[in-house]
Amino acid sequence: MSRKLAAEFLGTAWLVFGGCGSAVLGAQFLGDIPGIGNLGIGHIGVALAFGLTVLTGAYAVGHLSGAHFNPAVTIGLATAGRFPASSVPGYIIAQVLGAAAGAGILYEIASGAPGFVLGGFAANGYGDHSPGHFSLAAAAVSEFSLTFFFLVVILGATARRAPLGFAGIPIGLALTLIHLISIPVTNTSVNPARSTSQALFVQGWAFDQLWLFWLAPIAGAVLAGLVGAWLDADDPQSARVALSDHE
């Protein structure tokens, strides 16, 4: 179990460092470098970065832990009967700690820039703290529905009847699409650990709004787990646990 928890720690740290790092360092870089030009990667670049962190992380440590990197994913898989409930608390703790470590590395790098201002630090929010000033209701629907569909993709891509060895690709692409949709709405969470890690540094409003980015993704994941279990009901042997079997 210790190796599985270490894999979840490392994978979630990579997700936050790579995904949020692309937003804090890449998307917000507005200056020109002589001979190179402007390096800002924009909305599309950030979406791709999050997808790539999951894709690469899945192939790096998925054989050890299943590559959840997200408390909502762990809970959704447990709800669907794909993951042992007894292992859920340990996975969530490892994920939150890994996310905090990834955010800490990012902070150390970002704060080294001249005139550094923490700002939103890629935190998730609604209302005045939504990139597009979307309402609480819009943010809740976005986080709930997108996490639901994310789990539907994960459950389908990791079913025993799905092609072996390819699950990381549709999962990474799904997370990219999710970010393309919802960065303007909430800065995209669908991952309570990712939201918590950034709130640890922003504090204030980010902590005040953090409840939504635990509640909505987990609720969406639970519903997806129930739907997934129902879809597999006629073939209970069709599912395997995430990207690896937990025997």
- Looking at 13-70, which runs of residues are DSSP E strands? 32-33, 37-38
Q: What is the pLDDT of residue 234?
A: 67
In a domain, 17, yes or no: yes
Q: Which residues of 141-179 are buried (b: 16+ CB within 10 A; e: fewer)?
A: ebbbbbbbbbbbbbbbbbbeebeeeebbebbbbbbbbbb
Structurally, the chain folds into a number of domains equal to: 1
Tokens 């899945």 — which residue?
A: 58
Domain range for 146: 2-231
Contact 213, 195 (CB under 8 A): yes
Q: What is the pLDDT of residue 162?
A: 79
pTM for the full predicted model = 0.91
CA dist., res. 181 & res. 168, Å (int): 20
Chain centre to alpha carbon of residue 71: 9
Contact 244, 65 (CB under 8 A): yes
Q: What is the pLDDT of residue 29?
A: 54
In a domain, 242, yes or no: no
In a domain, 219, yes or no: yes
> CATH code at 217?
1.20.1080.10
Contact 68, 43 (CB under 8 A): no
Burial (CB < 10 A; 0-12, 13-18, 19+), residue 129, is buried
CA dist., res. 203 & res. 101, Å (int): 16
Q: What is the pLDDT of residue 137?
A: 98
Q: Write out the chain's pLDDT in tens, 247 residues.
A: 799 999 999 999 999 999 999 999 986 654 544 454 455 678 899 999 999 999 999 999 999 999 999 999 999 999 999 999 999 999 999 999 999 999 999 999 999 988 888 999 999 999 999 999 999 999 999 999 999 999 999 999 998 887 778 899 999 999 999 999 999 999 999 999 999 999 999 999 999 999 999 999 999 999 999 999 998 876 654 444 444 443 3
Q: What is the pLDDT of residue 36?
A: 45
Rama region for 116: left / alpha / beta (φ>0; ψ in -120 to 50; rest): beta
Q: What is the pLDDT of residue 40?
A: 66
In a domain, 98, yes or no: yes
